[in-house]
Structure 1
Amino acid sequence: MLGGLSFGHLLVVAVIVVLLFGTKKLRTLGSDLGASLKGFKKAMSDDDETEKKPGQDADFHARVTHDQPQETVVKDEIKKDKEQV
């Protein structure tokens, strides 16, 4: 196989990596990588669930009245947020 990696080449690379880093460090690296992937998947699924739920900003929309334009309500909300900080 010209220019490709065979099983023997991969085995030699794996042995060199184990000798350089040690099994404990590789095991820790693997578990850290797995935990970060699991957290990423959980965050993505949580994000998908919040997008599916209509009415997430229900209390904001409830404050919008027909008498008051939405722009004014948004400005009032910004003022309230600044006062709380």
Structure 2
Amino acid sequence: MIGGLGIWELLIILLIVLVIFGAKKLPEIGGGIGQAIQNFKKATTEPSEIDVTPKGEKKEESKDKD
């Protein structure tokens, strides 16, 4: 059992998805889910702070300090 679902429940869910979307759309759906998981993993591993200061302002600040 995976997360409380048995093999028969998973097969029924897969059959319903196949009927709704069709066999040609399943690879696209799988690719979309894979991309979403990849983006989620990337977002959780990146630093939480992002520098949004424009590049021009950084140069001006360094000139003012000298």
TM-score by length of 2: 0.48
- Higher RCO (CA 8 Å, separation ≥ 6 residues): 2
TM-score by length of 1: 0.41
**Structure with greater Cα Rg:** 1
Structure number having the greater helix percentage: 1
